[in-house]
Amino acid sequence: MPTRRQVLALLAALPTLTLVACGSDRESAATGCSPILLTDEHECALCGMTIVRFPGPKGQACLRDGRLLTFCSVQDMLAWSWQPESVPAIDTLFVHDLSRTGWDEPSDDAYMEAPDAVYVLGHDRRGAMGHSPASFSRRADAEAFAERHGGQVMELDQINWDNLRGNLG
């Protein structure tokens, strides 16, 4: 007969075993995931704010299990995506492409994959979470934005906690 400790160990391992067993199903569930039209019903997965009431680029995350999370800003999406428990769950991250849409009311048909974007950090434009990174598909547009509004142009892999908080030094 198993001991109480053995039963508890088995119960603790079940979520991991389930993920391993369903790995291929989870990967196929996220295939075809794309950004959705945001409405008053959508809240930020990080802070809970209603998303559409604020200017600035938003973010969306397709998860490996097929769910889609919405974020009120690129900043909140990045902060969520850098959490250790979020990293393995992520299939694709999307951000508004400000090369194709405006700051004040970003269009839901102007999303792009986050790793393909060029970002401006430290600018003077306010969004849902203050001065969230501005995301662009074209470097020339990001540079023009930085000329008008200040800030530094960066690739996604250059963004970290310090410069996201405004320490661009």
Question: Going by C-beta distance under 8 Å and a sequence separation of 6 or more, which residues neighbour residue 154?
Answer: 118, 119, 120, 121, 163
Indicate the pTM of the whole model. Answer: 0.80
Contact 89, 77 (CB under 8 A): no
Vertex 110 angle, CA 55 and 56, to 5° = 15
Task: Dig out the tokens for 76 from the structure.
Answer: 């909140």
Alpha-carbon span 135 to 128, nearest angstrom: 15
Q: What is the pLDDT of residue 1?
A: 54
Residue 38 C-alpha from the chain's centroid = 14
Task: Dig out the tokens for 166 from the structure.
Answer: 């405004």
Give the CA diameter of the chain.
72
- pLDDT 10s digit of each residue in the chain, 169 long? 555 554 344 445 444 433 333 443 434 344 579 999 999 999 999 999 999 989 999 999 999 999 999 999 999 999 999 999 999 999 999 999 999 999 999 999 999 999 999 999 999 999 988 899 999 999 999 999 999 999 999 999 999 999 988 877 6
Alpha-helical regions (H) of the chain: 4-21, 23-30, 74-81, 139-149, 161-164
Contact 72, 128 (CB under 8 A): yes
Q: What is the CA radius of gyration of the chain?
A: 19
